[in-house]
Amino acid sequence: MPAYATNMRFKFPIVALSLEIITIILYGVFVVYDDGKSKGHGHGHAAPSNETKHVEPMTLYPMFQDVHVMIFIGFGFLMTFLKRYGFSSVGVNLLLAAFGLQWGLLMQGIWDLDDGKIKINISKMINADFSTATVLISFGAVLGKTSPVQLLIMTILEITIFAINEHLVVEILGVSDVGASMTIHAFGAYFGLAAARVLYRQGLRNGHENDGSVYHSDLFAMIGTVFLWMFWPSFNSAIAEPGIPQLTAVINTYLSLAACVLSAYAISSLVEHKGKLDMVHIQNATLAGGVAVGTCADMNIGPFGAMLIGLVAGTISTVGFKFLSPILASNLGIQDTCGVHNLHGMPGILGGLAGIVAVALGKKAGHTAAMQAAGLASSLGFGLVGGALTGLIMKLPFWGQPPDQNCFDDSLYWEVPEEEEENEESLAHADHSKNKAEA
């Protein structure tokens, strides 16, 4: 691929502006404010309520803001761990999520028109934010190896496919997935992994010098980790039925995450050299408990049940980072930059399985284990097939994909400050010593 193909001038502005203008036109045609008289509020992953009811329109707003922080700070900073890719991580995260939420509101709203219109309210905004989470998860799998144009294309395709699968799973199959272990986490992870497989790079099979962290980039990533960890109870409960089910979702997520921290730290120390903790595990595996408890967050699984799920999730996630990711990369050609298979893939499947068991045990009336299993299978299938097809489209040679040697490097798509001041000073010292030496 010739180097100039990565020049984004024209290519990127045309794609970005075209998508935005098309979206604004569609909003002009289809989207209106919710006047409080729609056929049902709080509609989303939760079981639909058919009766017309009055809800104070701002009730969910604090929950929405928590989810908003997870999407923009949480996902954005979690990916800043790479030493030379922080601008792209937090900056492209903002770009994709800002476009994705607009597109997601349209794609999800299509299935639920009211007088031919999508009526926007806080609940729909939460779901729109949710739809972007799938893209940000997949982004983690291809991080550092894709251009902004490729990623905008992924955004529009992935959210469209997500909305189809979610409608099928939640509305048609009637699956319970309040925290979206299956429809967001497993879907997003396997979508990204399939795309990463299609975009496999032979040239990176021995790693890349920029595919690693420095001390301060690991600290920036912890900002993302901790905000995701703290607000995950809001993610899993935002669209639960108000009252006790919502409280249950908060409590289960809080406890699962707390237990997950202990197993992630313990296993990290157990598998690492001299019992040291590994920042990759701490940044990611501590969150697996939030993913895995998602499907049954609003079910009466008991506080200790939630903690057991978290304990197992933290364990398999850490083990996955240590032992499975290298195998996926070397044997299956899946180069998963952020290890989304360990944070969202396996814990998402675990969440789906836990949901099947919980429903089979009668923990949620009106649902069946078979349908829960069908929901998991559907999410995995749509993810894998959708991701592979999307990867093929992303692979087309005119989207400005970076050459191998420029992977994981902001400077291909960003103006980067010339030199760290420290370098300038040390350069000065080095020059000084050089001069002395020469003198």
Q: Which of 39, 48, 69, 389 binds its own copies (CB under 8 A)?
A: 69
Q: Does 144 engage in binding with its own copies (CB under 8 A)?
A: no
Find the part of the chain contacting its own copies (CB under 8 A) among 41-49, 177-185, 303-311, 345-353. 303-311
Q: Smallest gap, in angstroms, from Cβ of residue 53 to its own copies?
A: 16
3-state DSSP assignment of residue 85: coil
Q: Does 33 engage in binding with its own copies (CB under 8 A)?
A: yes
Task: Map the footprint of its own copies across residues 82-111, applying CB under 8 A.
Answer: 83-84, 86-87, 90-91, 94-95, 98-99, 101-102
SS3 of 363-379? CCCCCCHHHHHHHHHHH
Place of tokens 């049940």: 305
Using alpha carbons only, what angle is made at residue 386 by residues 384 and 388, rounded to the nearest 5 degrees?
65
Q: Does 295 engage in binding with its own copies (CB under 8 A)?
A: no
Q: Does 115 engage in binding with its own copies (CB under 8 A)?
A: no
Determine the size of the site formed for its own copies (CB under 8 A).
Answer: 130
Q: Does 438 engage in binding with its own copies (CB under 8 A)?
A: yes
Using alpha carbons only, what angle is made at residue 239 by residues 234 and 242, rounded to the nearest 5 degrees?
95
User: Which residues are bridge partners to 324 per DSSP?
Assistant: none
- In our burial notation (b when 16+ CB lie closer than 10 A, e otherwise), range 259-295 reads bbbbbbbebbeeeeeeeeebbbbbbbbbbbbbbbbbb
Contact characters 48-67, its own copies, x per CB under 8 A: --------xxx--xx--xx-
CA dihedral 93, 96, 97, 99 (to 10 degrees): 150
Q: Say if CB 6 and CB 90 are below 8 A apart.
A: no
Q: Say if CB 92 and CB 139 are below 8 A apart.
A: yes
Q: Which of 5, 110, 230, 360 binds its own copies (CB under 8 A)?
A: 230
Q: Does 392 engage in binding with its own copies (CB under 8 A)?
A: no
d(CA 57, CA 386): 35
Place of tokens 């998602």: 294
Q: Which of 139, 162, 254, 399 binds its own copies (CB under 8 A)?
A: 254
Q: Does 159 engage in binding with its own copies (CB under 8 A)?
A: no
Task: Map the footprint of its own copies across residues 395-414, applying CB under 8 A.
Answer: 413-414
Q: Which of 38, 146, 183, 213 binds its own copies (CB under 8 A)?
A: 213
Q: Which of 327, 332, 377, 429 binds its own copies (CB under 8 A)?
A: 429
Q: Smallest gap, in angstroms, from Cβ of residue 125 to its own copies?
A: 6
User: CB count, 10 Å around CB of 215?
Assistant: 8
Q: Say if CB 384 and CB 188 are below 8 A apart.
A: no
Q: Which of 2, 116, 275, 397 binds its own copies (CB under 8 A)?
A: 275
- Whichever of 27 and 200 has its CB closer to its own copies, that residue is 27
Q: Smallest gap, in angstroms, from Cβ of residue 402 to its own copies?
A: 13
Q: Smallest gap, in angstroms, from Cβ of residue 63 to its own copies?
A: 8
Question: Could you tell me which residues come within 8 angstroms of residue 421 by beta carbon, excluding any fewer than 6 positions away?
Answer: none
